[in-house]
Structure 1
């Protein structure tokens, strides 16, 4: 059996159900893989999932398309490549508390947004506000990542980027009403919530490993999509086994209600799981380029001149020079070549 480490984007939730089903049902084992899932709460999210892959500490990671694109921009780092889409459409939204009266993005001007401190994040939010008629001027506050949702619910920030089926379900169960703004409803073509990716060079050196992993994943997600009730129970069982020493806490009612919603996002209209829609990928890439988000500087709390800058500078100051599209090839960033068919 070959050990394969996968770093999750967040603590285990129903975005990951198919992965845990694949392990619990023995689909990874059938491919000769002993898969270990690493939850970010174990390292207090002090690092990004991609950094584990970059340093050779994990074979795969999960994250948004922007994370993968970022590794194809300066500074020079190992290139990442997305090889599968966990969900077939964007399942996220920007949320505000209904009690806040912020019932449209334009009203976020002058408000505080709970940021995950990602390279493109603040500028995406700025564009959405501007597309709704606002100035795009807001405070980007960065809490500890795993505290983002709790701080938002306490009213300490005005908005947060959440999953419609996960955090929003938690709010419903707590009797908290939300306003929810989907990015594509405001002109931002955000087509992917989560992608599975690895180091491009490592993937090319061991293509059968990538294909074997994807075969097992597809079986897991297909299984999860068949029966929401059974999938939720299997997911909770698998998580309790996988993270018995990691203090992962799931709320059964949240898992069950969330699974009813997200199960519909797993499988494409053609009945397949995981294939990356190249049209969506190209559209997002073109939008980032056309709106000046593909630039040379990356985010950092300790900026290095010529390499990194602050979130405020990225959003409203000097984000570096624009990176010409001919220097970055989306076909090298997003691929379906590791699927067996």
Structure 2
């Protein structure tokens, strides 16, 4: 009996020592994780699902990263915050990257992946408004955020349709989403995977004119993942493993939209789960046509929209595509 007792005692001590060792190793591992801040372009939504999947499933941790997501607030853009070191990575838009790199005070950022392969936004109106082309914008009221690039886009598509831009009234968007359409407002700019989904859930029928079908140059990348140039120059391995884990998260969101929406809901609980699931169903089908190449960008898309911005006086000089983006950190 004494011998058996000694055996059990020895086993207990061995297990205890092993457990302590595992705790110490776990503690050590957590201490060794590199802290990374990602600045979102807005509040968490289905554009960001892949990153939250990567966070929840431990894909970032597996690559040695401790990732925190923050919102930009009302006074700054994600591009500005990333450029000034408030985050190593961020979510932005192609036009903001081009603006940042052509401004008098150039911001040190670069796009390293696109979240969406194509622009999935466009102009909307109520079904009974019979606005079927930009020619029908004449005599109507458009409500938007009143940015120079927004006005340039409207002018361009109306010009393509031989419409008179001066016959369109532009006002600031007072909110209300689709509910404002058909009242004091005739036309708005919506994102198909979010605003149109909300309208569909409310049983509101809309006319939708996708931007990319109105002018091929408007099929730009929105949103994109950006990085601080210093990180890319001095710590390229961090950028590579960050995108490796992020890509894995988006590939899972593509394969499992409903489950991924439930994960997002844990971080964006203010939204109804039904909205997130319906939005995710659309977005997951539109992140990319080929999950294996998620995030990759093309020179032509960058050059086309840069030309558009230059032709409309929104930037004072052109900038080559390879100075605005890179695919090199997406390589396996």
Shared fold, TM over 0.5: yes
Aligned match of 1:286: 307
- Note closer, same or farther for the CA distance 1:117–1:277 as it changes in structure 2 (3 Å cut): same
* C-alpha contact (below 8 Å) 2:99/2:315 kept by paired residues: no
Aligned match of 2:205: 177
Aligned match of 1:295: 315
How far 1:143 sits from its partner (Å)?
A: 4.2
| 1:231 aligns with one of 260, 264, 287 | 260
Aligned match of 2:172: 142
Aligned match of 1:23: 55
**Aligned equivalents of 1:148, 1:79: Cα separation in 2:** 37
* C-alpha contact (below 8 Å) 1:114/1:152 kept by paired residues: no
Q: Give 4+ residue runs of structure 1 displaced > 6 Å after superposition.
A: none
Q: How does 1:59-70 map to 2 (within 5 A)?
A: 59-70=88-99
**Aligned equivalents of 2:141, 2:232: Cα separation in 1:** 40
How far 1:31 sits from its partner (Å)?
A: 1.6
- Note closer, same or farther for the CA distance 1:98–1:330 as it changes in structure 2 (3 Å cut): same
- Note closer, same or farther for the CA distance 1:36–1:99 as it changes in structure 2 (3 Å cut): farther
How far 1:84 sits from its partner (Å)?
A: 0.3
- Note closer, same or farther for the CA distance 1:73–1:156 as it changes in structure 2 (3 Å cut): farther
**Aligned equivalents of 2:122, 2:323: Cα separation in 1:** 28
Q: How does 1:105-254 map to 2 (within 5 A)?
A: 105-137=134-166, 138-143=168-173, 147=175, 149=177, 152-153=180-181, 155-189=183-217, 190-240=219-269, 249-254=270-275
TM-score where L is the length of structure 2: 0.81
**Aligned equivalents of 1:155, 1:38: Cα separation in 2:** 36
Aligned Cα root-mean-square deviation (Å): 2.3
Aligned match of 2:281: 260
Aligned match of 1:309: none
Secondary structure in 1 matching 2:296: coil
| 2:127 aligns with one of 79, 94, 98 | 98
**Greater alpha carbon shift after TM alignment, 191-200 vs 102-111:** 102-111
How far 1:197 sits from its partner (Å)?
A: 0.8
- Note closer, same or farther for the CA distance 1:195–1:253 as it changes in structure 2 (3 Å cut): same
Unaligned runs of 5+ in 1: 241-248, 297-322
How far 1:261 sits from its partner (Å)?
A: 1.3
**Greater alpha carbon shift after TM alignment, 104-113 vs 123-132:** 104-113
- Note closer, same or farther for the CA distance 1:141–1:130 as it changes in structure 2 (3 Å cut): same
TM-score where L is the length of structure 1: 0.79
Q: How many residues align?
A: 298
Show CA shifts across 1:231-259 (max 9, x none). 2222212434xxxxxxxx11211111111
- Note closer, same or farther for the CA distance 1:123–1:260 as it changes in structure 2 (3 Å cut): same
**Aligned equivalents of 1:148, 1:118: Cα separation in 2:** 19
Secondary structure in 2 matching 1:282: helix
How far 1:156 sits from its partner (Å)?
A: 4.2
How far 1:21 sits from its partner (Å)?
A: 0.4
Aligned match of 1:272: 293
Secondary structure in 2 matching 1:72: helix
Matched, 1:34 2:55: no
* C-alpha contact (below 8 Å) 2:148/2:314 kept by paired residues: no
How far 1:267 sits from its partner (Å)?
A: 3.4
- Note closer, same or farther for the CA distance 1:150–1:184 as it changes in structure 2 (3 Å cut): closer
**Aligned equivalents of 1:213, 1:6: Cα separation in 2:** 10
Secondary structure in 1 matching 2:102: coil
Show CA shifts across 1:74-104 (max 9, x none). 3223232110000112211121222434332
* C-alpha contact (below 8 Å) 2:80/2:107 kept by paired residues: no
How far 1:284 sits from its partner (Å)?
A: 2.4
Q: Which has the higher helix share?
A: 2
